Amino acid sequence: MALSSLLSKPCISLLSAKPSPDNKNNKISPTSFTLCSSLKTKQSRVTKPATLSKTHKLSWQQELKQAFQQPKSQNLQTNNDSIDCNIDDIDDESFQKLVDKRCVDNVRMLIVDAVQNAQAGHPGMALGMADIGYYLYRHLMRYNPRDPKWFNRDRFVLSAGHGCLLQYVCLHLAGFESVQLEDLKRLCKLGSRTPGHPENTVTDGIEVTTGPLGQGVANAVGLALAEAHLAARFNKPDCDIVDHRTYCIMGDGCAMEGITHEAASLAAHWKLHKLTMIYDDNHNTIDGPISLAFSEDISARFKALGWNTITVDNTHDDMDSFNDALLSAFGDTEKPTFIRVKTLIGRLSRKEGTSKAHHGTFEEDDVKQMRQKVKWDSREPFHVIPMVYREMQIQTDHGEKLEKEWFSKFDYFKTNYPEEAAEFEVLLSGGLPPNWETCLPEWSVTDPVDATRGYSEKCLNQLVKVLPGLIGGSADLASSNKVFLQGSQDFQHSSFYGRNIRYGVREHAMAGISNGIALHKSGLIPFAATFLIFSDYMKNSIRLSALSHAGVIYIMTHDSVGLGEDGPTHQPIEQLAGLRAVPRLLVFRPADGNETAGAYREAITNRDAPSVIALSRQKVAANIEGTSANEVEKGGYIISDNSGKSLPDIILISTGSELCLCEGSAKMLRKEGRKVRVVSLVCWQLFNRQPKEYKEHVLPSSVSKRISVEAGSSMGWSEFVGREGIVMGVEEFGASGAYLDTFKKFGFTEENVTRVAKSLLSQY
């Protein structure tokens, strides 16, 4: 479409749009949001100026003439963008369209320059979606680069994380300090703020770490869930202090990943209407066109799930259709919106529309012709038209104004709703009120024994009384995992304030959504529960929890062959070893009630690290004398020792339900005159962080006779037992049978631990 035709089309601007007469839901309109009391005004979600100033137009005039106005005496071959009218004569709306068009040209050229300079990167999606990225940051999203963590900002997720150059360029132009021009020049360089995929811990303005496809879709659902939950709890008829939207760009690869389907199903079930998914439908993946492996109608799939679905055929020449799609999204208060945007991967280049554009650099002659197409020939790499910064400043100033208005609303909220405001402030401060840990129960050796999942249930239901942000659920196993929060309702469309989340059988999405909840950074403390064996379904999301510093608590029950009858398909063997290998992930395997309470204390205290709490199905043999909730923070500590001031003859090291077997064995050995130390190694990661002196105190290097006892893989235990020690573990897939019979089959009895210890002690 020639730009002259584009300019003659009537534009439906979001600034002037009115809700349709048949829109019965006037509570949320596409053009207004509620301010408190006398502060009520109407504001648009889009910041297109109603009238352009003469100064503004003059500043752009020469640039636009050079880019778009074609001299009548010439017939230049351009990218079909020239206009056949005088720029001086066009109306404000058409003038703004040309400004936007030129800004997008600048975005694309920065993308090309960054890739060429780095000799690395993924320019294809970034070039194809440049129009959408620019539009979101210039005209739509509410944010303040001067305060990137402002609570009520809109959230943006790039699930197709390989296209991060688009976001980096937009962040730079929008004025985020985290991405300077120099950072664009250091794309993918060691230590740069522009890594090869977006990382929220590296670059302000990045909400979540993405890269593995589909993860961002689940994260976006989690962000939207957090907004809906907090809005339901704290908004008042005269004051909405929680009112923001979540936008996510996904690609063809995301559409293929199962986690996307799981998360999208839940988003529709929950009717998260403030979630907008923008699908970059460029019909290419790395290996070639998607027709190689993908032929389904994605819009039909999302519609069947319950989404409002819209197709935009050509944003490159007509942004009005995208504008209209957004109007539909803002007007729908029952469904999330899926906008299918048909794009050309590698827009402008000779690779345009092919998988070759996905990643890698461009030939020099290709770069030259791209520059010619947008009349960029004479400009140095990384050139930014000065007016582009000023253009983006309009949105920055708008965001700053919105933040000031939000704080005024919050002052009103505090005055009129002091109790709710106090709780909200606790959440915004991290969600941990003073002395919250004192609510955790304590157990004595005389208390009735239970499975550690039972102790966990008691801990959770005490914590929910004092932690306003505790929220979570299970993948259809709440009764088995024992994670239902008593007195709290389910999170559903009719009760967004509920704190029990029903994920159904969707472990992977559960973990990805939990990451989004945690990274909303509003004091919510998400937990996600299932059987330990099914952590494999969740592994990539768990890894991203650790990488992105998301403090999700993973509650994993049925933690060993001790679960019994369900057999090898459900008995975890290698899972603990795999999880312990994840950097920054805290893996707890408590032995009794006190250690379970200690595990929760540490998991909740460490808000920038995820935790796994592995719990037993079967009742433990005893509440062990010597265990301590306080000592869990050290990861490993001495439970009992009859050595006095001398060193023990042997050290028995264990975790979880097997710790009581070691304590029972130690009593047998002590009756025979042996000096025995029993050590609980409840969290390897925390123990390894302790000073060398403390670790030497617990596990003296001069005591070489050591036995580890854990009903799982032996991998990793040699670090603690040493070359002369013995690892008692499980090296096969378990067996179906009553748990005591299964334990006996694999040698997990007091008698067998004692036999192995005697054998080791007999060696000199």
Q: Residues with catalytic annotation?
A: 507
On whether 19 is known to bind a ligand per the annotation, the reply is: no
Q: How far apart are the first and last CA of the chain?
A: 88
On whether 142 is known to bind a ligand per the annotation, the reply is: no
On whether 630 is known to bind a ligand per the annotation, the reply is: no
On whether 508 is known to bind a ligand per the annotation, the reply is: no
On whether 617 is known to bind a ligand per the annotation, the reply is: yes
How far apart, in whole angstroms, are the C-alpha atoms of residue 619 and residue 592? 9
On whether 649 is known to bind a ligand per the annotation, the reply is: no
On whether 316 is known to bind a ligand per the annotation, the reply is: no
- Going by DSSP bridges, is the β-strand pair 706-709/525-531 parallel, antiparallel, or unpaired? unpaired
On whether 84 is known to bind a ligand per the annotation, the reply is: no
On whether 282 is known to bind a ligand per the annotation, the reply is: yes
Tokens of 750: 């007091």
On whether 589 is known to bind a ligand per the annotation, the reply is: no
On whether 593 is known to bind a ligand per the annotation, the reply is: no
On whether 689 is known to bind a ligand per the annotation, the reply is: no
588: DSSP letter: E
C-alpha dihedral (429, 432, 435, 437), degrees to nearest 10: -160
Q: Residue 617's closest CA among 742, 444, 708?
A: 742
Cβ count near 723 (within 10 Å): 6
Cβ count near 566 (within 10 Å): 14
What is the secondary structure of 668-706 as a DSSP string? HHHHTT--EEEEE---HHHHHTS-HHHHHHHS-TT---E
On whether 480 is known to bind a ligand per the annotation, the reply is: yes
Cβ count near 741 (within 10 Å): 12
How far apart, in whole angstroms, are the C-alpha atoms of residue 233 and residue 242? 9
On whether 566 is known to bind a ligand per the annotation, the reply is: yes
How far apart, in whole angstroms, are the C-alpha atoms of residue 680 and residue 125? 51
Residue 234 parent element (H or E) = helix 215-234
Length of the chain: 764
How far apart, in whole angstroms, are the C-alpha atoms of residue 157 and residue 164? 10
Residue with tokens 């509440």: 623
Question: Are the C-beta atoms of residues 317 and 257 closer than 8 Å to each other?
Answer: no
Residue 751 parent element (H or E) = helix 750-761
Helix (H, G, I), strand (E, B) or coil at 490: strand
Binding residues for substrate: 122, 358, 453, 480, 558, 566, 570, 617
Binding-site sequence positions:
122, 162, 211-213, 252-253, 282, 358, 453, 480, 534, 558, 566, 570, 617
Residue numbers in the known binding site for thiamine diphosphate are 162, 211-213, 253, 282, 358, 534
Binding residues for Mg(2+): 252, 282
